[in-house]
Structure 1
């Protein structure tokens, strides 16, 4: 009788776990790597051994203005910006910053947190610590909007309340912050849903990337400090900030300004009006267009996705559409396949769902 009861309990438990394992039910959340012996005892994933002895970077958060104004100009700066004011990030966002740091060890990668709460959970985020401690070039900085906008070309917009009153305050603040940051400090900007696949050392100092033949992206670009087009974009934002349309201050701004000021399209490589700007076609960061975002989660599409992105520098994962897509750890889903290689710590710090 006792043997039968034990078997029955095992059978019931298997029934409960099967749909979660096979279909990826959302209650199997991503957990701390410290909860699982495999992650601290030496799991071999893409050549990385996850042991505590490998921690080479101190986990700390510093003031953004002090850190960025003192940084060495001899190293490229790569920026990711979080404007939700939650004061922390999720594993897929960790994947983006890890992929940049892992593939670009000679560049400084910054996660910039805007207006984090006083009691932020960041310092208790074991997964983020697990990622940051492994990459010496990965730095977390924070700032307040009041101090960051002060004395800049976008001070008026930053203080007049238009961004907070817009229909998309988080997204529109991100649109403004990326222009302000690159204009002020120079460097490369990526959205937190862009996974970097290789070194960016060969990129020109000033570049833009198109996502289609007609539309320029604001999710991936790079400018020198004080670059002229970036200055004009700041002026345009001050004059014509649009709080109603989701993309008007981001990709819409880039597309308008490039056509108006530079007469640039995706088919252009350079422009006589803007000779210092290099134009990158969709194949560099947007090989998978947003209408096909489901491919990243399709186990049967790995070969198809791989063939499309094999020569890309990075891949935009379209979180606006794909955030509810489920990635099961260890599956052949394209998202997970690339995450294992390019952000192994963020990926393997999860239990069954990434």
Structure 2
């Protein structure tokens, strides 16, 4: 009789464990609604067809380690895109498989889980580039030779992303100030440094040209990848390809060719990288706010500014922008 009493709790315990295992497996095949933001299960190897649109906005997080979390400022960028474009799908794609499953525990993310148009998804590089011209190049592991692997992975995958799906790519240090529906051009990037460089931190490509530009970008990676130069596969590559696409030697006399438009620096990068610190100093705040007044975007140059933290009591321009364009993230974090 004592043996029977002993077995019942054990059987019950095993039944509970079995139920939890089965439940977790079932959950892994579904999209998990997290408050309102949606975490798309890694069972999805592609962007769900019902969510595909040339209006989609994409962010890429290409640190392939679980210990590198998104910063408060990156979360601010994501929230600003969702806030200013409420009817647009915002995709945040993670290269690290463990990172996106722990989002609810990240204080930086609490502010953006309220947006139903934000979709969070893990992606596998090989699956991501499948059926593109760069597929074999990626599978050979040539990207691993880069000295700046995180940056160059982001550079290359944004080209593959826009070639496959169309839409707008934004770096995680870009704040969106307006509805991007106001930009009437189907394909665009923005000048940096007086029309000499076209930066790829803000880039829209649709396939209305048959994917010609997207293929040109990917083929340029295959032909001239440089793992030793930080910007060679990013702004420099985009500038080279656009010159070929537009059949020009410089952009001094043109900012449009075919269906591609290069927006002025003032609309996208109103504060140049050489003056990145102006965003974070109180004495420059009025000047900065006047400079960004007509811009669609604010690029705060994370490579330079990542170590410059602000207390919320500061009246620096970045705090003013964050409080307006990412209010939830701003409210839930002590430092910004």
Distance of aligned partners of 1:72 and 1:139 in 2 relative to their CA distance in 1, 3 Å threshold: closer
Q: Deviations over 1:131-173 (max 9, x none)?
A: 12x2111110111112212332211221222211211011010
Q: Secondary structure at the match of 1:115?
A: coil
Q: Distance in 2 between matches of 1:281 and 1:266?
A: 12
Structure 1 stretch displaced more, 181-190 or 328-337: 328-337
Q: Secondary structure at the match of 1:208?
A: strand
Residue 302 (structure 1) aligned with residue 282 (structure 2): no
Q: State the Cα distance separating 1:297 from its structure 2 match.
A: 0.6
Residue 342 (structure 1) aligned with residue 325 (structure 2): yes
Distance of aligned partners of 1:73 and 1:216 in 2 relative to their CA distance in 1, 3 Å threshold: same
- When the two chains are superposed, the root-mean-square deviation of aligned CA atoms in Å is 2.1
Preserved CA contact (<8 Å) 1:187 1:223: yes
2:221 alignment counterpart: 237
**54, 67, 90: which one aligns with 1:109:** 90
Q: State the Cα distance separating 1:64 from its structure 2 match.
A: 8.4
Unaligned runs of 5+ in 1: 1-54
1:214 alignment counterpart: 196
**172, 176, 182: which one aligns with 2:152:** 172
Residue 189 (structure 1) aligned with residue 189 (structure 2): no
Q: Secondary structure at the match of 2:256?
A: coil
2:49 alignment counterpart: 70
Q: Distance in 1 between matches of 2:201 and 2:55?
A: 18
Distance of aligned partners of 1:75 and 1:184 in 2 relative to their CA distance in 1, 3 Å threshold: closer
Unaligned runs of 5+ in 2: 1-33
Q: Distance in 1 between matches of 2:98 and 2:252?
A: 40
1:140 alignment counterpart: 120
Preserved CA contact (<8 Å) 1:162 1:243: no
Q: Distance in 1 between matches of 2:317 and 2:219?
A: 40
Preserved CA contact (<8 Å) 1:211 1:282: yes
Provide TM-score, normalisation by structure 1: 0.78
Q: Distance in 2 between matches of 1:58 and 1:93?
A: 16
1:82 alignment counterpart: 61
Distance of aligned partners of 1:121 and 1:267 in 2 relative to their CA distance in 1, 3 Å threshold: farther
Moved over 4 A (4+): 64-67
Provide TM-score, normalisation by structure 2: 0.82
1:256 alignment counterpart: 240
Q: How many residues align?
A: 295
Distance of aligned partners of 1:164 and 1:294 in 2 relative to their CA distance in 1, 3 Å threshold: same
Q: Distance in 2 between matches of 1:118 and 1:293?
A: 29
Residue 290 (structure 1) aligned with residue 273 (structure 2): yes
Q: Deviations over 1:290-325 (max 9, x none)?
A: 000000111011110011110000111100011011
Preserved CA contact (<8 Å) 1:258 1:265: no
Preserved CA contact (<8 Å) 2:276 2:301: yes
Q: Distance in 2 between matches of 1:206 and 1:119?
A: 30
Preserved CA contact (<8 Å) 1:182 1:222: yes
Q: Distance in 1 between matches of 2:293 and 2:43?
A: 35
Preserved CA contact (<8 Å) 2:189 2:263: yes
Preserved CA contact (<8 Å) 2:70 2:108: no
